[in-house]
Structure 1
């Protein structure tokens, strides 16, 4: 198989969110002003409660009482702000008017015939003559501003929202556009949304500051790179914080990019530098930390994928940064600088390290190593020689300053097959050792040294306790599947627009005797770290979490309504219609932009069998129906497109997989638009019953951002009735993009990613939940997908590893298929759930992808990333 490249969505800046919006999203909490003497009462509270219910949100009793205690003016102001924040998260803050307003009923059955009618209108339609299509007299009129001649008898002005010929927006006052017909109302609204959430009363505005500080602590404790949404929240929480109280800030921040954001905020106020600089000095421990700060304050990304031209550095900040660099080991700092050599040479032009050699000699020495500074008899050379004399690993006795490179030594050892030498070097950097574990195991398996495999296992045992949890989890998933032969490999390289690289796998499978001990060491380390948390009596684990992947590559995740780790698979409720939606609005920079929402259909062998897009508005009559192709999106209305998917009819038509795709037809990057987002609704009503966009039915909404032109958010499995969240973008070139042009590439992409995530090569959230429950709880209750429960109690002779391995097996300590009568530990202190449909103990910890009625004021709601953070070394 030839290689194929797909691109994961680039993270770009989003519209700033208020502190209230951040806490609403993160804590489901609403903060209100003090009660007044003339309250609005129950009527006012009922009105806002009804508005929230229409959006899929419940109101806790305490919050309802707080609403009723406000006067009408304050309640109106608070209510408008709250509904605006919620609508923005759902995508309901924008108008959604598709080309065909009676969609799906009015969608043409013959797309080609509809196209021919439009072409004939352009070529032969004439003013003041009968219509060339139907012969009707006095029915042909021009529409503004495109001036196409449109027949009102052939094209229904109450159905079309744009010109039927060119499918671009026209003047809303144009006579052709008649008032749209009311859509049929739903006889019933079905069950509650899957993503139902309970809003709680957070207190007054002073309480919001305390909660903001707690959320800031949570984000700063994360061990890996934050998702774009979490990074935005971190910036908002920092902006709302005062620099007067620095004592509450953590002394260490494990996430490098999070640390850079904190340090940049600390250094942003020159007047506060005397107070903030000691805090910064305690946080920064690598030269790359300083480079991230320079990039962030220049408008760049903390991941250092694309480094912009640096902004000028004022003298006080210049001295502050040099003082931080001077406190580092020059040899190590020089090695860090070599990773981004060009950027550091540019930074040297701003920091002027050689002008301050007397004050910051170690910083100057690191820059001298980077630049290979020639030595002579001048004052600078003397200062560099004196500084090098106090540092190991740097040589200033020759004609230039040099340093021995650790990375080069490692690469040479691996290339020469010198396993012992490579292990000795890599043990200095445990994270790098675990990242290269597969290479080391292949050397051990292929070498003549019979002690090689044992040496690899021993090196892992000695170093794994110091490795970041995301690295341990990634290595565990990759290594445990290496006893099987694989045809392809999938990589997710780091990047602002990270790539999922699919290529042939030419590696031989590793022997089970080598893989098993390494897997045991890595799993044992996870269990050991999980056991450091406070013990609990009872934990509950949903078996449905087995399809959810533990977070990875979060820095490229989409900003979304529901945070779902990439690769996760969830069940789709039976008897529901899925409605995909897309909305975009052009900006001055983008010009005319045509985005297209599409669905590609494949059989069980990933053979392409059809599409539903602008080239074919219907697939299998009504199995998939498109709302029509809007070809521009001028403000303020923008443009919206929809695709209805009837899973039963698709299955009957021989479709196994449906891949959802958004293309930029004329190749305008998503990031150039004023806004662009897409999502998914679950519909109960048939045809055009109910509004075309109903906020209550929105299950997922995500932004389209960055320099990308094609997005592949999800794949649906008709047979299994599941949705797998891919959250990737596909590299495309040229213009006139359409699904059929990319069918083979889409099949390769979706097939290989589905295969990867189903193979066990990525640790699942369900596994992580079982491990953490086994390490902390004496009783673990597993809730199976059929509604039954199984209880597992840790036995006297059972260690944590054995207990974890038994959870989920038939060897239980009690089962019950009656979901209403058996729940060991009525209020568990620890729960890992798909939906928050149980009552947890006060102060308990609960992960729920859909919190439902969980009260964030009573329990600590966990995010998937918090489960990884809990395993920090």
Structure 2
């Protein structure tokens, strides 16, 4: 499928390119297949085909909007067949249903052995003692032992049921589909997908996108406006749209792109298309240039992972980037280079800054300081650079051979140890750093002084930083602090929270400054008549840094809580495919802990059954060659797990043989609610991709007592290989407990609060939908400011009848009435036509609160 069509389909929009292949459009003959002819003479087979397609889409939980159905009815039979196959395949793939899912035990869960140890012993005996053309060492059968391909292990067809096993019973690697072991007369291979023939209770509406370019521009705008680091999937969307519509997309760019990783993706696309002026307009720090270089060379613009390889750059590009560096103030340039010294030393070998020391002397000087380049007086380059360094004696020192620098961070740390007021004065020059250190400074300097500094700094800081600071201030000490690595794959650090508690007056004063700033920003947005809020948004945390978040079917901000699926049986699934000539063994595992986080049991390849049938594993596949790949499943019976003393359930995806997820051809996991058959796309409640350099992923922590799950999406640090639950039992317990403390006990900002900021500052009246299904109406009082109105919304008191239609809706499910063109955030979008509303993401709600100049 066309990449743009796929991106828009994720927005529930179907494009003309998906409906009609380009070749069919180019060869259409007037009167013989053009649209005007089809409108004039509708064909019965086409009408029947549309009905058949609707039936197939219903089985996938989707329904056509009226405009989309009308457009499909205009196609001829061949075009309709193409559109139908593309739609069904794409929608099934979004839930993980396009691939063939075949577990090790094909009759899973019924045929999973009760005693994993016995099976292991039989495997070991067969491996060590089995001999060709000899009776089976397990059963004594003669003539039943044959090697399987390609692993060549000797397998007895009498001891190992080829109608149930889908891989070699000895090593669990995939074997050739044509191997006789897999073709017994009573083959009962489980189907990849089984339909129940019914219609799902909730149908998702598909809309028609008549103008992909306009919709792409609408999709690009909010992504470029966000202040926080983007998800990997959002960076892919930005890169695809900018590259696809270049040079027209250059005119879609705003004056400023706040998120620096997003900025690097855009600038890299511009440089590849030969536009060297765009970096000069948008790159305003040396780190921007470094991010751009990494993006150009196929690396991570977030600078979290090592660049796979350096590539040479054309001379005009090198000169243009050195010009960008040269125009930075020298103190800032030197400090920026010292933030990423290893990466910049590598890039110096690409940029050759000393080659241009006369044209770009400040850039050459900064690299000389970073690299410790010997500057011998009397040489041409040394004389030029030392002359440029002379006015900066407070920043640079010269020992006769090399220049040394004193950085801002060093000066601040020295001031913090001796005079916190001086440290506050230094930080006041850097608003972002001040906000990030506010919680610490609140314990060192008077609240009034800090509040005044915050009041001046807050208008210049991104909303994600304001939200994080507000959460840190409101979180009382106690419990466990958790520090997530910026790279997403390094060690997660936890420690007891022994900080001194802040006075309530200090917390209130500083919080008022931050919330007041957010309300001021919201008030600068276009006003609306009516806003609709969902009280259940209190369960969702406001997104902050999402750069390491997994691409998922339901985009849950990290730390958010959702109910477990309603059935008693939850089926976890994992699928992956390995690159050619490179074996990859992933393992889907589950660790169970009691209320005190004491290990209770596990379900993985070492223990296929826990508590009888409380948890059942489908079997360990140790390779995943194309085209089928490999799939593993774990069935969880929540009542039975509680009965054996389990409270917390932690699913984990391990890369057993230490291969990073980003080397997979494809990889995803998720869970279903009481599926009908082995894999039922309709039953999928969450699906997420396995990406990045991580080797161990914990997607969520389930609490069986409250029947909720907390979405954590954490990459656990991995060392060496052979990863399994036994090796990480204690680490998983600490991680799960820390996640519950950090997200469950803290005063984090929720999406409910963000929604209240929007509604209180922008709407004349607000409708609140409560957890029990009741609704209430709140109307702004004469002269009431946004803060007072927001306080009434937070109190959630009922106040009058329902307003039937909203211009701004922030809800969990979009089963609401809104005006045409309304802005809508829905965690589970389904009912509203995406072609006639403006869909918002949680990050959009936060990103819309970007800094605005004070009035």
Q: TM-score with structure 2 length normalisation?
A: 0.90
Task: State the partner residue of 2:253.
Answer: 249
SS in 2 for 1:246: helix
User: Are residues 1:264 and 2:275 paired?
Assistant: no
Q: 1:394 to 1:364 in 2, by over 3 A?
A: farther
Q: 1:525 to 1:404 in 2, by over 3 A?
A: same
User: Are residues 1:834 and 2:812 paired?
Assistant: yes
Q: 1:193 to 1:307 in 2, by over 3 A?
A: farther
Task: State the partner residue of 2:162.
Answer: 157
| 1:65 maps to which of 57, 65, 70 | 70
Task: State the partner residue of 2:220.
Answer: 216
Task: State the partner residue of 1:3.
Answer: none
SS in 2 for 1:842: strand
Whole-angstrom CA distance in 1 between matches of 2:128 and 2:390? 85
Give the Å deviation of 1:520: 1.4
User: Are residues 1:793 and 2:779 paired?
Assistant: yes
SS in 1 for 2:166: coil
Gaps of 5+ in 1: 1-15, 445-451, 685-689, 815-821
Give the Å deviation of 1:856: 1.3
Matches within 5 A, 1:622-637: 622-637=613-628
Task: State the partner residue of 2:10.
Answer: 25
Give the Å deviation of 1:370: 4.0
Whole-angstrom CA distance in 2 between matches of 1:536 and 1:269? 41
Whole-angstrom CA distance in 2 between matches of 1:594 and 1:506? 41
Whole-angstrom CA distance in 1 between matches of 2:272 and 2:129? 65
Q: Deviations 1:157-214 (Å, cap 9, x if unpaired)?
A: 22221233332222322333236337699895677377x53211101xxx11221122
User: Are residues 1:850 and 2:836 paired?
Assistant: no
Matches within 5 A, 1:703-714: 703-714=689-700
Greater shift after overlay, 383-392 or 459-468? 383-392
Whole-angstrom CA distance in 1 between matches of 2:314 and 2:133? 71
Give the Å deviation of 1:793: 2.6
Q: Deviations 1:98-129 (Å, cap 9, x if unpaired)?
A: 11111112222233333344445446666777
Give the Å deviation of 1:66: 1.0
Whole-angstrom CA distance in 2 between matches of 1:486 and 1:397? 48
Task: State the partner residue of 2:29.
Answer: none
Whole-angstrom CA distance in 1 between matches of 2:117 and 2:224? 56
Task: State the partner residue of 2:523.
Answer: 531
Task: State the partner residue of 2:28.
Answer: none
Give the superposed CA RMSD: 2.9
Whole-angstrom CA distance in 1 between matches of 2:380 and 2:15? 63
Q: 1:187 to 1:21 in 2, by over 3 A?
A: closer
User: Are residues 1:239 and 2:225 paired?
Assistant: no
Matches within 5 A, 1:222-621: 222-243=226-247, 246-270=250-274, 273=275, 276-277=276-277, 279-308=278-307, 309-371=309-371, 374=375, 376-381=377-382, 383-384=384-385, 405-416=407-418, 418-444=419-445, 452-481=446-475, 484-495=476-487, 497-588=489-580, 590-591=582-583, 593-621=584-612
Is this contact kept in 2: 1:589–1:672, CA < 8 A?
no
Q: Deviations 1:57-101 (Å, cap 9, x if unpaired)?
A: 222121111112111222233333333433433222321101111
Is this contact kept in 2: 1:193–1:697, CA < 8 A?
no
Is this contact kept in 1: 2:398–2:404, CA < 8 A?
no
Whole-angstrom CA distance in 2 between matches of 1:57 and 1:209? 24
Is this contact kept in 1: 2:488–2:715, CA < 8 A?
no
Is this contact kept in 2: 1:590–1:672, CA < 8 A?
no
User: Are residues 1:747 and 2:738 paired?
Assistant: no
How many residues in Structure 1 have an aligned counterpart in Structure 2?
825
Give the Å deviation of 1:143: 3.6
Q: Deviations 1:119-167 (Å, cap 9, x if unpaired)?
A: 4544666677776656667655554444445444443322221233332
Give the Å deviation of 1:327: 2.8
SS in 1 for 2:482: strand
Whole-angstrom CA distance in 1 between matches of 2:93 and 2:796? 46
Whole-angstrom CA distance in 2 between matches of 1:290 and 1:620? 56
Whole-angstrom CA distance in 1 between matches of 2:320 and 2:426? 33
Task: State the partner residue of 2:173.
Answer: 168
User: Are residues 1:48 and 2:36 paired?
Assistant: no
Give the Å deviation of 1:290: 1.2
Greater shift after overlay, 130-139 or 504-513? 130-139
Is this contact kept in 2: 1:590–1:673, CA < 8 A?
no
Q: 1:512 to 1:129 in 2, by over 3 A?
A: same
| 2:716 maps to which of 698, 718, 730 | 730
Whole-angstrom CA distance in 2 between matches of 1:745 and 1:781? 45
Q: 1:827 to 1:76 in 2, by over 3 A?
A: same
Give the Å deviation of 1:473: 0.5
Give the Å deviation of 1:393: 6.6
Whole-angstrom CA distance in 2 between matches of 1:251 and 1:345? 31
Give the Å deviation of 1:535: 1.9
Q: Deviations 1:713-736 (Å, cap 9, x if unpaired)?
A: 112121211122111122233444
Task: State the partner residue of 1:202.
Answer: 209
Task: State the partner residue of 1:819.
Answer: none
SS in 1 for 2:493: strand
Bigger RCO of structures 1 and 2 (CA < 8 A, at least 6 apart): 1
Matches within 5 A, 1:657-668: 657-668=648-659
Q: 1:248 to 1:735 in 2, by over 3 A?
A: closer
Give the Å deviation of 1:466: 0.7
| 1:640 maps to which of 628, 631, 634 | 631
Whole-angstrom CA distance in 1 between matches of 2:552 and 2:561? 16
Give the Å deviation of 1:252: 0.7
Whole-angstrom CA distance in 2 between matches of 1:346 and 1:485? 43
SS in 1 for 2:820: coil
User: Are residues 1:99 and 2:104 paired?
Assistant: yes
Greater shift after overlay, 838-847 or 652-661? 652-661
Is this contact kept in 2: 1:197–1:850, CA < 8 A?
no
Whole-angstrom CA distance in 2 between matches of 1:386 and 1:165? 73
Gaps of 5+ in 2: 26-33
Whole-angstrom CA distance in 2 between matches of 1:854 and 1:552? 27
SS in 1 for 2:616: strand
SS in 1 for 2:209: strand
Whole-angstrom CA distance in 1 between matches of 2:338 and 2:151? 57
Q: TM-score with structure 1 length normalisation?
A: 0.88
Whole-angstrom CA distance in 2 between matches of 1:794 and 1:180? 69
